[in-house]
């Protein structure tokens, strides 16, 4: 993955990387995931997301 931060440091601020996309339904679920406990950058519990393409 190319380094997107100035100076080429990998994740220097500890905030992780931006995900690009748009939530069109279920923003309440996204906010609940955001509130979950984390250990540094990773959630303490695994979150599985299943999608259905029509």
The reported pTM is 0.53
Residue ranges of E strands in the chain:
38-39, 42-43
User: What DSSP character marks residue 18?
Assistant: P
**Residue 6 or residue 50, greater confidence:** 50
Residue 3: pLDDT over 60: no
Do 1 and 10 contact (CB within 8 A), yes or no? Answer: no
For residue 36, the model assigns a pLDDT of: 93
Q: Position of tokens 């990998």? A: 10
DSSP run (H or E) holding 32: helix 27-35
For residue 28, the model assigns a pLDDT of: 95
What is the pLDDT of the chain when averaged over all its residues?
78
φ and ψ at residue 2, rounded to 5 degrees? -70, 150
pLDDT tens-place string over residues 18-43: 677 788 889 999 899 989 998 877 88
């Amino acid at each position: 993955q190319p380094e997107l931060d100035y100076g080429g440091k990998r994740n220097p601020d500890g905030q992780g990387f931006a995900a690009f996309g748009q939530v069109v339904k279920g923003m309440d679920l996204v906010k609940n995931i955001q509130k979950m406990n984390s250990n540094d950058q990773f959630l303490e519990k695994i979150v599985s997301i299943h999608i259905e393409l029509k």
